[in-house]
Amino acid sequence: MTNDIYLTDREADVMQVLWEHGPSVVNEVKEKLADDLAYTTVLTILRTLEQKGYVKHEEEGRVHRYFATVKEDAARKSALQHLTGKLFKGSAELLFTHLVSDKKLSADQIQRMRELLASTGKKEK
């Protein structure tokens, strides 16, 4: 498996359940999803995620308990790299500029970003 992790919206929803609640059977995943999906739909998504190598399962009697094999942070990094490459010409600065100029950040969020930038700048010197 490469470092690139590609998730559809539905796959990301299912992965979020596994990351937040740990190993789960299909019905447990189904119950925790915001959308009311059919059992077979959830099962298909889990099987697709397993084929991609993002989840595995253990047999538990007559059911399978699925668990994530990729970490949430790795999926976030991969998604951000993909987004940056596709929509921001590979420029993290352009992405950051867009986020800040969107003006939906609170003063606290802006302050935390300043602190993060300052600490990152110190590490590189």
Q: Count the neighbouring beta carbons within 10 Å of the beta carbon of residue 33.
A: 16
Q: What pLDDT, on a 0 to 100 scale, did the predictor assign at position 72?
A: 94
- What mean pLDDT, rounded, does the chain reach? 90
CATH number at residue 2: 1.10.10.10
**Same domain, yes or no: 83 and 94:** no
Domain with 26 in it:
1-87
Q: What is the pLDDT of residues 69-99, one digit of tens each?
A: 999 999 999 988 888 998 998 888 888 888 8
Distances (CA, A) of 40 to 11, 32, 62: 14, 15, 16
Q: CA–CA separation, 85 vs 109, rounded Å?
A: 25
Q: What pLDDT, on a 0 to 100 scale, did the predictor assign at position 101?
A: 83
**Same domain, yes or no: 5 and 24:** yes
Total number of domains in the chain = 2
Q: What is the pLDDT of residues 3-51, one digit of tens each?
A: 689 999 999 999 999 999 999 999 999 999 999 999 999 999 999 999 9
Report the run of H or E that residue 95 belongs to, with start and end: helix 92-101
**Same domain, yes or no: 73 and 18:** yes
Whole-model pTM: value is: 0.78
